[in-house]
Structure 1
Amino acid sequence: MVNASAAPALLAVDVGNTNTVLGLFEGARLASHWRLTSRRDATSDEIVLSVRGLLSSAGRETDPPRDVIVASVVPSLRFPLRQALRQITGREPVFVEPGIRTGMPILYDAPQEVGADRIVNAVAAYERLGGPCVVVDFGTATTFDVVTAKGEYAGGVIVPGISISAEALFERAARLWRVEIRRPEKVVGKTTAGSIQSGLYFGYLSLVDGVIERISREIGARPRVIATGGLAELFGGGSERIEEVDPLLTLTGLRLIHERNRGG
């Protein structure tokens, strides 16, 4: 159970297209974290009930965090989230959006187009690894975000996520069936299911390493690479280019950005 008086608490909320990840920080320490399904039609009352239940499990039912920071890629949840978090904490939540201080220059042609989660990941990766570095986020889409040696957000690559790719295959091919996405023992499958698993895992892994290699050639350097997201551990272990894996990297980035905007 959390000692509510130990340190100022911060609730970090990462709202993705498929999942929402929440983290409760006490100072720089991630004390608790949770993963929920993102419901685009969720009401503010439903969000209040869910978040209060999570905080209660962490010993914060009567002493909720006073500060909240949110990165969301789901526009329809912005209003109910703001209402719910304001009701829980009594204060206005901070959203990662244009105008917030990230400490990272954005070299994108249209900076407002960059997803909040991508900037947050880049901030956390540069703080941890220095630059140049690449963050690979295995989410609904798989994103590759590049940070220069000077700590600038250079841009990136977006490809369909592995789950989306698998669903497209299963829906379009009548004689192929759904399989668990996991690492097979061998590349050459001896059954249809094994062949599909091999193609999904090793094919996607080759995509990941191949994109990183092309990024390296383009920037003329070998960047350090970190993976995050729900399937980061599965693919990070088989990659020849991914050096570190942190499924909760986005939460760390949210904490860092909150610190850079405190009092401002």
Structure 2
Amino acid sequence: MILTIDIGNTNIVVGGIDKDKTHFIERISTVRTKTELEYAIDIKLLLDIYKIKADQIEGGIISSVVPQITNIVKIAAEKILKTEVMVLAAGVKTGLNIKIDNPAQLGADLVANAVAGIHNYPVPLIIIDMGTATTLSVVDEKKQYIGGMILPGPRISLDALTARASQLSGISLEAPKHIVGKNTIECMKSGIVYSNAAAMDGMIERIEEEIGCKATVVATGGLAKSIIPHCKREVILDEELMLKGLYIIYEKNKQ
């Protein structure tokens, strides 16, 4: 088993995975002021909850979009695992052919998603990752990463709405009973959930128009399960996609 860690702006996704299955996947809050020891305690607590001993884990790999804490989390993981932990960065073999203006700008999380997507699903492929931001990645029929798009995530949209409208209180991100809301809370929930689902349907349609063919669509990320079931297009929900990609990359690079 290896330990996979994906550091996002809001959450850090920690998982244990081997070639046969995912043993666990959990989220902890991304806190930029935490120390190495505090993150080490978080990791140790997760392993204890799942009754996994450090010596059962052969190594680890990190992807991160928060460079300020990448090394802090790396050192924290190494304190627990007692072995070097890999960081997905320049120089790490991924096998992904990236066809964008500056391949170095592509986030490690999107690289891992694409690697797993190509390995597990037919191409061409559209990968939706719904977190702090919603990203769409496009892989063509030659298994090349050709680009994508970034838009505000559902939670950002909801927070912005409640912050700017004094009469609107914070609400949970879940679909109401009716698309046409009967009160303010229902109207807000419907607006956020169904507008994001409709946006995904529309973006998929436009991407397919540009690439000239139908694509397999896969969604992942912490907020995907709140939005994707309301899409009209068929979208595969794979909450373990990132972990699978990190595992594949780890196997390509381990000594």
Bin of the TM-score, shorter chain as denominator length: over 0.9
Q: Tell me the distance in 2 between the aligned counterparts of 1:193 and 1:159.
A: 24
Aligned letter for 2:108? A
Secondary structure of 1:11 counterpart: strand
Q: CA 1:86–1:20 in structure 2 vs 1: closer, same or farther (change >3 Å)? A: same
Aligned letter for 1:119? V
Say whether 1:53 aligns with 2:45: yes
Residue of 191, 196, 219 corresponding to 2:188: 196
Q: Tell me, yes or no, if the aligned pair for 2:54 and 2:81 is still in contact at 8 Å.
A: no
How many positions carry a matched residue from both structures? 255
Aligned letter for 1:127? H
Give 1:12 shift: 0.7
| TM-score between both structures, scaled by the size of structure 2 | 0.95
Superposition misfits of 4+ residues, deviation over 3 angstroms: none
Residue of 207, 210, 214 corresponding to 2:199: 207
Secondary structure of 1:237 counterpart: helix
Secondary structure of 1:204 counterpart: helix
Equivalent runs, 1:219-258 vs 2, <5 Å: 219-258=211-250
Q: Tell me the distance in 2 between the aligned counterparts of 1:177 and 1:254.
A: 38
Aligned letter for 1:131? V
Q: Tell me the distance in 2 between the aligned counterparts of 1:109 and 1:29.
A: 36
Residue aligning to 1:168 = 160
Give 1:123 shift: 1.0
Q: Tell me, yes or no, if the aligned pair for 1:64 and 1:89 is still in contact at 8 Å.
A: no
Q: Tell me the distance in 1 between the aligned counterparts of 2:126 and 2:19.
A: 27
Residue aligning to 1:85 = 77
Residue aligning to 1:217 = 209
Aligned letter for 2:119? E
Aligned letter for 1:53? L
Aligned letter for 1:134? I
Q: Tell me, yes or no, if the aligned pair for 2:193 and 2:226 is still in contact at 8 Å.
A: no
Q: Tell me the distance in 1 between the aligned counterparts of 2:185 and 2:55.
A: 50
How big is each residue's C-alpha offset from its partner over 1:161-208, in whole Å with a ceiling of 9 and x where there is no partner?
A: 010011111111122222222112322112111111111111111111
Give 1:260 shift: 1.5
Q: Tell me the distance in 2 between the aligned counterparts of 1:191 and 1:156.
A: 36
Residue of 91, 105, 110 corresponding to 1:99: 91
Residue aligning to 2:129 = 137
Q: Tell me, yes or no, if the aligned pair for 2:113 and 2:241 is still in contact at 8 Å.
A: yes
How big is each residue's C-alpha offset from its partner over 1:117-148, in whole Å with a ceiling of 9 and x where there is no partner?
A: 01111111111112100111110000001111
Secondary structure of 1:193 counterpart: helix
Q: Tell me, yes or no, if the aligned pair for 1:236 and 1:242 is still in contact at 8 Å.
A: no
Q: Tell me the distance in 2 between the aligned counterparts of 1:143 and 1:165.
A: 14
Secondary structure of 2:136 counterpart: strand
| TM-score between both structures, scaled by the size of structure 1 | 0.92
Gaps of 5+ in 1: 1-8
Residue of 32, 41, 44 corresponding to 2:33: 41
Gaps of 5+ in 2: none
Q: Tell me the distance in 1 between the aligned counterparts of 2:169 and 2:130.
A: 23
